[in-house]
Structure 1
């Protein structure tokens, strides 16, 4: 593809992201549009600053769509419980939209996840292992929030019940001080 001017390239990025429900990496967009990955990163930053709802996930960019019903769950578990937690949520029929922690210096830190299936969770956990990354919840003694989304409210209840069964749902009397 011939290189596009900046505005045409940003319109192409929006069209590409709007036409898929799966993440598209900056490298893939760069190949498709004949520019460097850094140009794409800059274009996406400009689009986001202009009000376009684009999320950066560990697997690439997505445009924000909010079908279904969302709920925020407070969770607590050791780092080795992350896989069981994420699998429990997607197995209940929910998407793990993000993870949120409250940092004493920076305030709320949010990491976009957009995990919708066991495959997505497996890919995410492989990236964690390959990068020797620690979860955001390490900053808060395992306490964190997840926004979860589902088409049916019963799936949200199933996810909460699954986390409760694992001992990972943070409820009154279940926090680190109660352990």
Structure 2
């Protein structure tokens, strides 16, 4: 059976994601392969259906590799205008904000992939929120949400928790 140009492109997309040092946008992939962004979105859907662990983040696609270190969840609460301060508290203490999770009354658990690792990432995320006039998922739950935090070790995670607690962002029931 001969391989089609589309199959070759999908294999090349997966290889680019494997070799990338960070997220790769659908737009960048579309330019690289001289196809539309929608073709790339379809390619990624087919790759996922075939078992590829590709995650869509606000900055582009990444392979869903589990990094070394610690991964924990924290329960937070804050007003929408405090989102920047919360994200900065986490990244300044050495963490990555992998996602945000809320409990929706109809849909159940909703997860938004963030992949925020630095103040630059925080600013880019906030820029996209503003550009799209988007509301944070935590608006659905009165500001209550979970974050999956990744960091290098337990000591770093404790520093992150302390930073969030000091800022008043940890949910305290």
Aligned length: 169
- Deviation of the 1:95 alpha carbon: 0.6
Unaligned segments of structure 1, at least 5 residues: 174-179
Secondary structure of residue in 1 paired with 2:103 = strand
Secondary structure of residue in 2 paired with 1:105 = coil
Q: CA RMSD in A?
A: 1.1
Secondary structure of residue in 1 paired with 2:94 = coil
CA distance in 2, matches of 1:100, 1:49: 24
Establish whether residue 140 from structure 1 lines up as the match of residue 144 from structure 2.
Answer: no
Aligned partners of 1:21 and 1:62 also within 8 Å: no
- Deviation of the 1:21 alpha carbon: 2.8
Secondary structure of residue in 2 paired with 1:157 = helix
Q: Which residue of 1 aligns with 2:16?
A: 16
- Deviation of the 1:58 alpha carbon: 1.1
- Deviation of the 1:166 alpha carbon: 1.0
Establish whether residue 62 from structure 1 lines up as the match of residue 62 from structure 2.
Answer: yes
- Deviation of the 1:117 alpha carbon: 0.7
> C-alpha offsets along residues 97-142 of structure 1, whole Å, 9 cap, x if unaligned?
0000010100110000001111111111111112221100000000
Unaligned segments of structure 2, at least 5 residues: none
Secondary structure of residue in 2 paired with 1:31 = helix
Q: Which residue of 1 aligns with 2:5?
A: 5
Q: Which residue of 2 aligns with 1:176?
A: none
Establish whether residue 52 from structure 1 lines up as the match of residue 21 from structure 2.
Answer: no
> C-alpha offsets along residues 69-96 of structure 1, whole Å, 9 cap, x if unaligned?
1000010001011000000001111110
Secondary structure of residue in 2 paired with 1:24 = coil
CA distance in 2, matches of 1:154, 1:27: 39
TM-score (norm 1): 0.91
Q: Which residue of 2 aligns with 1:168?
A: 169
Q: Which runs of 4+ in 1 moved over 6 A?
A: none
TM-score (norm 2): 0.94
